Structure formats: structure tokens, C-alpha cells
Amino acid sequence: MVAEVAVLDASIQTLIDVVQPFIKKASLILGGAFGIYVILLFARVHYERKKVSLLKDIRYDLDQLNMSKGITYSRQRHGIFKRMWRAITRWRVRTFSKLPSKKK
């Protein structure tokens, strides 16, 4: 019984010795692909953060320009009553501008 286990262990050990170089190469290739994926992910995050920062700067510049011209800008918060009033006045202007004019 012990002799059979020793023969089995020896055959398994030879199989492991044969397969081990292939496993190392596969882990190196797969590890390299995973490493490249992680590096590309970090690069993507970095460039997306730069893009968001640039867009924030552009929005700030546009807000400053709109404030100097007296136009509404993105940081200007409109309450519910102001939005409702604006909708009513726009509706009224559209409705009454379509009416035919009265000529004498």
C-alpha cells in the first residue's frame, strides 16, 4: 500500500514538473495583460479627471461672461415660484402674440 502511494506521488511529481513551466508562462502572460488593463484604467481615470477640470473652468468662464452681460448663468438658482412665473409670462406672450391685430 505504501509502495503504491510512493509510485503515485512520483508520477504526480513528474506531471507537476512537466506542467509547471507552462503554468508560469501562462501566469506571466495573463498577469501582464491584467497589469496593462490596470495601467490603462488608471490612465483613463487621470484623463477623465483632467477633462472634468477643463469643463469646470470653461463653465466658470462662461458664467463670468454671462454675468457681465446680464444673462442668466449656471450658478444662478431659480426657485419654483420664479420658474412658474417665467412659464406663465412665456405662455402669455406666445398666446397673445398669435392673436390677430385689430385694425380700424
Would you kindly state where each structural domain of the chain is located, as residue ranges?
2-97
Whether 66 and 73 have beta carbons less than 8 Å apart is answered as yes
Distance CA 26, CA 34 (A): 12
Q: Compute the C-alpha angle 99/91/98, nearest 5°.
A: 15
Quick check: 74 and 59 in contact, CB under 8 A?
A: yes
Residue type, 54: L
Span 39-57, pLDDT tens digits: 899 999 999 999 999 999 9
CB pairs under 8 A, 24+ apart, for 78-84?
none
On whether the pTM is more than 0.75, the answer is no
Highest-confidence segment of 23-27, 32-36, 38-42, 88-92: 38-42
